[in-house]
Amino acid sequence: MTIVITGATGQLGRLVVEALLDQNVPAGQIVAAGRDLAKVADLADRGVQVRQIDFQDPASLRRAFAGAGKVLLISGSEPGKRVEQHQNAITAAKDAGVGLIAYTSIANADHTDMQLAAEHQATEEALVASGLPFALLRNGWYLENYTDQLGTYLEHGAVLGSAGDGRVSAATRADYARAAAAVLLRDDQAGKVYELGGDTPFTLSELAAEVGAAAGRAVTYQDLPVGQYTEVLVGAGLPAGYAAILADSDLGIARGELLVTSGDLSRLIGRPTTSCGTPCGRLPEPQQAGSRGQAKGPTTAGERTPVSEGSQASPAPSHTGPHAPASKVAGPTPC
C-alpha cells in the first residue's frame, strides 16, 4: 500500500516526501502527486512514484489514489474553489478505498471566524460526511511568511499589520511537514485532531524587536486599522479580495485565533519547534534589503505553494499574511 502526497510539487508537500524518505520509507511506497511533474522529476529519479493530478479533474485523482493506503490532502491553492476541489479528492479517496486521509486544515478551525478558515471548515465537514477515516492537521501560520520579509523589514525599519497585541504560534514548513509524516506513519490515527503551531508564540511587536536586535538597527511594528492595512496591501499590488483576506487574518491574530498551546507539533516531531529567533539570526546583508521587488503572489509547503498545492506558488493566502511596507510586499503561502 502506498502513501500519496497531494501538492508534492509545492513547498510543503515536497518537504513531507523528504520527511518520509528520512524515516526510511521505501521510495517506491511514496506517491508524489501534483500538477507539474517536472518539479518532482528528481524524486522520480530516486524511486518515488510521481503521478499527475488536478483537483478539477476527478479522474486524475482516482488514478493517483489507486492502491493507496493513506493520502495526505494538502489544501489547494485557489481560494473560492477549494471546497469543490477538496470534495473531489475526498470522493476519489473513498472510491479508491483509502484507509486514511489526513488533511492540512487551519489552526483552531472549530472556533475561528477568520475568512481564510471558511473553506477549511467546509472541508472538515465534508470529511465527516464522507465516512472515510480521517485525521486533521490544523496547521498554524508558516514562520517563513515572516522571515521571507526580513529584507523588507530592514529596508523600511518597520513591520506593518493589524494584529494588535495578538500572539501567533508560527512554525516552519519543515516542522509541519515532519508532523504530517509522523501522522502518516502511525497506526490508529482515524479521528485524531492535531492543533499545530510553534512552541513560542510572539506578537508582531516582538517580531520587529527580534529582527531589529539581530540586525543592530531599529525596527518597529506599526499597527494599522484593518481598512488602512488593506489599502496598503492593495497599494502594494495585491488583488483587493486577497488583501482583504490577509488583513482579516491579522484580526484573527488579534483575537487569539492563531494562538496554539496544545504542544502537538513538538510532540509529533520529537523536539522543540524552530523558533523565530533561529531564522531571524540569519539576516540578509544590508545591501540585499528590499531586493525582493514589487508585490507578488506566494512562492512555493506548505506551500502553503498555501501557496501552490499547499501551503504553497499561487495567490492563495497561507497561514500568514505579509507584514511589510506597501512598496515591497510578497504574498503568503497558504495552508
Residue 65 lies in a domain: yes
DSSP three-state, residue 296: strand
The distance in angstroms from the start CA to the end CA of the chain is: 27
Biggest CA pair distance of the chain: 57
The CATH number assigned to the domain holding 33 equals: 3.40.50.720
Cα–Cα distance measured from residue 236 to residue 233, given in angstroms and rounded to the nearest whole number = 5
Buried b (16+ CB within 10 A) or exposed e, 166-179: bbbbbbbbbbbbbb
Residue 68 lies in a domain: yes
Residue 289 φ/ψ, nearest 5 degrees:
-55, 135
Contact in structure between 334 and 82 (CB atoms under 8 Å): no
- Helix count and strand count (H, E) for the chain: 13, 9
Cross-sheet strand order for the sheet of 100-106: 49-52, 30-34, 2-5, 68-73, 100-106, 134-139, 193-196
**Predicted local distance difference test score (pLDDT) of residue 302:** 31
Residues with Cβ within 8 Å of 292's Cβ and at least 6 positions away in sequence, in order, are 149, 151, 152, 328, 330
Question: Which domain, by its residues, includes 17?
Answer: 2-141+171-196
DSSP three-state, residue 335: coil
- The residue type found at 102 is A
Residue 108 φ/ψ, nearest 5 degrees:
55, 40
Residue 32 lies in a domain: yes
Instruction: Using the structure block, give the residue that is written with the C-alpha cell 493507496.
Output: 68
**Predicted local distance difference test score (pLDDT) of residue 78:** 87
**Predicted local distance difference test score (pLDDT) of residue 323:** 54
Name the grid cell of 119: 473553506
Cα–Cα distance measured from residue 77 to residue 235, given in angstroms and rounded to the nearest whole number = 23
Cα–Cα distance measured from residue 220 to residue 211, given in angstroms and rounded to the nearest whole number = 9
- The residue type found at 248 is D
The β-bridge partners of 34 are: 52
Name the grid cell of 240: 483587493
Name the grid cell of 227: 481598512
Residue 161 lies in a domain: no
Residues with Cβ within 8 Å of 266's Cβ and at least 6 positions away in sequence, in order, are 199, 272, 273
**Predicted local distance difference test score (pLDDT) of residue 275:** 85
For the chain, what is the domain count?
1
**Predicted local distance difference test score (pLDDT) of residue 236:** 86
Per-residue pLDDT of the chain (335 residues; tens, 9 = 90+): 899 999 999 999 999 999 999 999 999 999 999 999 999 999 999 999 999 999 999 999 999 999 999 999 999 988 889 999 999 999 999 999 999 999 999 999 999 999 999 999 999 999 999 999 999 999 999 999 899 989 989 999 999 999 999 999 999 999 999 999 999 999 999 999 999 999 999 999 999 999 999 999 999 999 999 999 999 999 989 999 989 999 999 999 999 999 999 999 999 999 999 987 766 655 555 434 333 333 333 222 233 333 333 433 233 344 434 454 444 444 455 45
Residue 14 lies in a domain: yes
Cα–Cα distance measured from residue 184 to residue 85, given in angstroms and rounded to the nearest whole number = 22
Name the grid cell of 68: 493507496
Residue 104 lies in a domain: yes
Residue 77 lies in a domain: yes
**Predicted local distance difference test score (pLDDT) of residue 283:** 56
**pTM for this predicted structure:** 0.88
Q: How many CB atoms lie within 10 A of CB 41?
A: 10
**Predicted local distance difference test score (pLDDT) of residue 321:** 42
Residue 190 lies in a domain: yes
